[in-house]
Amino acid sequence: MEESHCAYSLSQTDSGWMWRLFDEDGVMIADGSAPDQSTAQKGVMAAFWRGVGSASSFLTDEQPGGDSTLGT
């Protein structure tokens, strides 16, 4: 199995927290928002693990307390 790398960012906004997940080429592959930092952190980690399990699919889900999209 080939190892791949990714990165994420968390940003505070006026209405809560925004997160983004990037592939190893710097392309954003998922993003979402949440009312607090803890929920945003959980959202980005959930998106990461969904992406690992579904590398060739496109998913749109709603996270508890926030929204997220994942495209791979």
pTM over 0.75: no
Tally of structural domains, the chain: 1
User: Is residue 72 one of the residues assigned to a domain?
Assistant: no
Separation between Cα atoms, residue 59 and residue 72, nearest integer Å: 8
- Tell me what pLDDT residue 65 has: 44
Separation between Cα atoms, residue 23 and residue 29, nearest integer Å: 6
Assess contact for 61 and 34: CB atoms under 8 A. Answer: no
User: Is residue 30 one of the residues assigned to a domain?
Assistant: yes
Work out the average pLDDT over 1-16. 86
User: Is residue 2 one of the residues assigned to a domain?
Assistant: no
Q: What is the pLDDT of residues 26-67, one digit of tens each?
A: 999 999 999 999 999 999 999 988 875 544 333 334 444 455
User: Is residue 52 one of the residues assigned to a domain?
Assistant: yes
Tokens linked to 15: 């209405």
User: Is residue 50 one of the residues assigned to a domain?
Assistant: yes
Q: Provide the residue range defining the domain that includes 47.
A: 7-66
User: Is residue 40 one of the residues assigned to a domain?
Assistant: yes
**Confidence bin at 1 (pLDDT 50/70/90):** low
User: Is residue 34 one of the residues assigned to a domain?
Assistant: yes
Helix (H) or strand (E) holding 35: none
